[in-house]
Amino acid sequence: MPLGGAFRAVLTGIAFVLAGLGIVSGVLEVLAARLLGLALTPMVFASPRDHTTWRENACNLTAVGVPWIVADWLATRRQPTQNQQTAKLANSSLA
């Protein structure tokens, strides 16, 4: 592995902390949650015949699913719904 395993471990830790801070603080929280899910993607494609990789894949899918669900929830929470947009248009035309 280029630059050694310790470098990757530190880089991954920093990325996870920054993603968590982004989600909690609301600064690019959708992007942070999606990138966090992408960082946890499984390595099944590297060795598809290894049963240990498939077991890890099952664990990773749950770990990947949570950030993606949070990202979608944050994205829909930020966008006004169709009823809210219609109500705003109706109120602005009445005024």
- Kindly report the pTM of this predicted structure: 0.49
DSSP string over 25-80 = HTSSHHHHHHHHHHHT---TTT-TT-HHHHHHHHHHHHHHHHHHHHHHHHHHHHSP
Provide the pLDDT for residue 30: 83
Is the model's pLDDT at 11 over the cut of 60? yes
Is the model's pLDDT at 22 over the cut of 80? yes
38-42, 49-53, 70-74: which is most confident: 70-74
Structural domain count, the chain = 1
Is the model's pLDDT at 77 over the cut of 60? yes
More confident residue, 1 or 8: 8
Q: Which residues form the domain of 38? A: 4-94
Quote the DSSP letter at residue 2.
T
